[in-house]
Structures are given as C-alpha cells and as structure tokens.
Chain A
Amino acid sequence: MSRTDFFLLIDQILAAPPGTVLGPAPLASHPQWDSIALLELIAEVDKKFGVNLPARQLVTARTADEIAALLGDRLTR
C-alpha cells in the first residue's frame, strides 16, 4: 500500500473528505478520531499488513504522518 492510499484509508475511517489528514489540523481535532477509529485502523492494518499497530502510540500520534511512520517500509512512496 502506498502512503497516499494509507492516508486515504484514515480519511475514510474518519468519514472525512480525501486529503483531510494531510492538512495541518492535528488528528485529535477530528471529531471522529476516537477509540472506535483506533479499532478500525488497527483492524485494517492487521488485515492489510498482518501487523499490530501499538495502541498507545496511536493514541499519542499527533498526525497521520506519525502513524505512517509506525509502518515504516511497509508503505511505498
């Protein structure tokens, strides 16, 4: 999966227009960035990469970039 597609996935989970999470607003400012969104993101990443995203780091992530960094090279440019 590309980084662009990953960010679109987060947009989708937040029910936000494409490109939203690439904007300057921190994730925490999105009303739907909550415990349910975390579950969805963890499930999607498990399904697509077979990887467990650490929940504590997800909670403290300020931006989608920080979440993408947790997946490292698994995301293509």
Chain B
Amino acid sequence: MTALLTAIEYHLGERIETNAALATEHPEWDMARLVAKLGVRQRCLAQPGETAADLAVRAAEKLFATRACAPAEIDFLLFCTQTPDHLIPTTACRLQTRLGIPTTAGALDFNLGCSGYIYGLSLAKGLVESGQARTVLLLTGDTYSRFIHPADRNVRLVFGDGASASLIRASASGVAGAKMSAFTFGTDGTGAENLIVRNSGLRARGCPAPGGDFLEMNGGEIFNFTLRVVAPLVEEILRRAALTLSDLDAVVPHQANAYMLEHLRDKLGVPAEKFAVTLADCGNTVSSSIPAALRQWRAEPRWFVEKRTLLLGFGIGYSWGGCLLG
C-alpha cells in the first residue's frame, strides 16, 4: 500500500496588518529597508478570540468543499500546532467533533513548528502504509500573533497566522496523488532557547519569566542554524532518492523570511523559478507555510501531483526535516 498526498487547502487569518499600518504605529521603524530584506508586505492575522483550531476548521472545510473526500471517510486526524485551544484536552479531539469525522477515527495533536508539516506527512504515510489508516487528514495551524510583542520588530514583521488541511490516502483509493519519499529528519535541542515563549507551558508556572509571555527570537542564531543544516539535509534527501538537484521540478522551503530564503536558494544552487517564495502577502505561518506555499505557488491547485518536489522544513526546536513528493 502506498500513501499519496492527494489534496491541500489552506486558510489564512483574515485580519490584515499592512506595513503602512505598522509604519504609522512605529514611525521609528525603517519600513522600506525592512520590507526589502524580510519580504513581507502584510501579515494575515487571526481575529481576536480566533484560535489555530478555528483556522484549521476553515482549511478543512475548504478541502471538503473541493469534494476531495467527505468527513465520513477520514479515519485518522493529525493536528500540528503550538497554539492549541488548551493543553488539556487534545485539540484534535474537538476538531473531530467540529468537522464531523467519525468517532472511529484516531486523532492526536503534535507540537512542532516550522518542520511540522514534514513530520505530519511522515506520520500520515506511516499510518497508511502500515495499514492502520486509509484516509488521513493532516491539519496544521498556529496563531503566533498571540505571542508577538507589539514593539518587537524582529518577530512582528515576519509572523502571520494560518492553517492548512492535507489529505493523505491509500493508493488503492484510486485517487491521483503525489508519493512521498526520502524522509530525512534532524533535531538539536541546544537551539531551543533561540526561538521560545518562556511562559507558554508548565515549566514557568509559579515563577513566570519577565516578558516571557512573548515570542523571543534570536534571528542570527536561527539563521546560522539553517546555514548549518539545510544544505546537508538536501544532500541527504537527494542521496536517498538517488537524484540530483537538476532532477527536481520544484523546491518548497519553509517560508522563514525572504532574505534567508534567497541566501539559502543561492547557497543550494536552485534556480529562482524552481524555488517557491510565497510569504509576501501572508508572512511566516510556521507549520502551515509549506502546505500553503504548495497550494498557492501555481494556479493549478494540484500541480504537485505531477511534479518532483523537494519540501524543506526547519526552525523551532531546533527541528528540521525534508522529503520528496512525486
């Protein structure tokens, strides 16, 4: 049994924060320079009170509306988020009910950031190819805007809110889709401090860190991390697939920021026309950035089914991973 990625939809926050609005709020920020470097013209943010699960429901509803499958066909639900409705209970359980997925389906949350989509695809593939599930709904969603200090330029200009819904089905379903292969992973917890919300879990309960309710990012260290791991990650994926870079039709990386992506593209030697950069009008949507880029990069919604595409996730943790589609 082969698992196929058959459909992707996404939903972005509908509260648009423009750079003009930020320039008014922070006249001391050199917006022209920041936009030229970071490549984000506006961010799509969740409405007040709207959660990652709410965004994920919208993404899933879009997917069901395409008739890619019906909720009744889903037998496993995976939800990747770092901004769950609650730590207890599991948000995926509530999503099962909200989406009308059968009670016979499995459901779980998993907590990863920018690498999460790759891990989700891998988990879904494992469930399908081991015969434990036939139709997996992989949801990603985050509302990092809840963690952004309004005066922290480094993160406020970059992060947006969004969600995605992907369908992974057994090949026997007869639906065309992209095979997933050459999964390669990496983890280095020594980088945990470089992208962190210190008061977001129980570690700080009773002794919260001052300012720890907000996202802290050491951009320089994160950049160094990507420079260290991404090129070897690509090499390893290509080695496992017995391919070269020129065999690829497309590379879809995590949408970190435009400056970092351009440097990585140049370092990897990928032509610009094969390298997806889609964050300009939505910002970095963390684990939803790869599926959103996959869905929006080409006019044909399922373009990736016919193409050999390299996916690369890297960030918070540190955690990284990549795989091939097609």
Cross-chain contact A55 with B218 (CB below 8 angstroms): yes
Cross-chain contact A43 with B263 (CB below 8 angstroms): yes
Q: Which of B220, B228, B260, B266 is the one whose CB lies under 8 Å from A58? A: B220
Number of interface residues of A (CB under 8 A): 17
Tell me whether B227 is interfacial, beta carbon within 8 Å.
yes
B301 CB, nearest partner CB in chain A, Å: 34
Tell me whether A68 is interfacial, beta carbon within 8 Å.
no
Cross-chain contact A43 with B259 (CB below 8 angstroms): yes
Number of cross-chain contacts by CB at 8 Å: 50
Within 8 A of B (CB), among A29-77: 32, 35-36, 38-40, 42-43, 46-47, 52-56, 58-59
Chain A neighbourhood of B37, CB < 8 A: 36, 39-40
Chain A neighbourhood of B38, CB < 8 A: 36
Main SS of the interface on chain B? Answer: helix
Bound CA–CA A47/B228 (angstroms):
12
Tell me whether B154 is interfacial, beta carbon within 8 Å.
yes
Scoring B37, B153, B227, B266 by chain A CB atoms within 10 A of each residue's CB, the highest score goes to B227
Bound CA–CA A7/B258 (angstroms):
25
Bound CA–CA A58/B218 (angstroms):
12
Tell me whether B73 is interfacial, beta carbon within 8 Å.
no
Bound CA–CA A43/B227 (angstroms):
9
Q: Which of B33, B153, B220, B259 is the one whose CB lies under 8 Å from A55? A: B220
Cross-chain contact B219 with A39 (CB below 8 angstroms): yes
